[in-house]
Amino acid sequence: MGTDVPVLTPGEVDSEHFELLLSDTKTSGEKVIAALRDHLVHGLSAKEATAKHGVTPSQFYNRLKGIQDKHAFVCEAIKFYI
């Protein structure tokens, strides 16, 4: 994929955008989802979000990578739909 894919900036991801990116992923744990939401939508640092929700950094970063990969795929594919 291209290198010009916009980054998901913590605190700047719209709630609906977050839910769409989360759909069709393997992420189902409520604590992990809450930590990811606090990080991406509400702007908490990864460390704060994992501590607040009792999630291990490995759980958090594995799921974050899945969301980032889906975001990158959509950014690359969108040119074929507009």
DSSP 36-53: HHHHHTT---HHHHHHHH
Beta carbons of 38 and 53 less than 8 angstroms apart? yes
Record the pTM. 0.89
Q: Report residue 43 as tokens.
A: 């702007």
State the fold for domain 15-80.
Answer: Arc Repressor Mutant, subunit A (1.10.10)
Render pLDDT for 20-75 as a digit per residue (tens, 0 to 9). Answer: 999 877 777 999 999 999 999 999 999 999 999 999 999 999 999 999 999 999 99
pLDDT band at 2 (very low <50, low <70, confident <90, very high): low
Q: Which residues contact 53 (CB under 8 A, 6 or more apart)?
A: 31, 32, 34, 35, 38
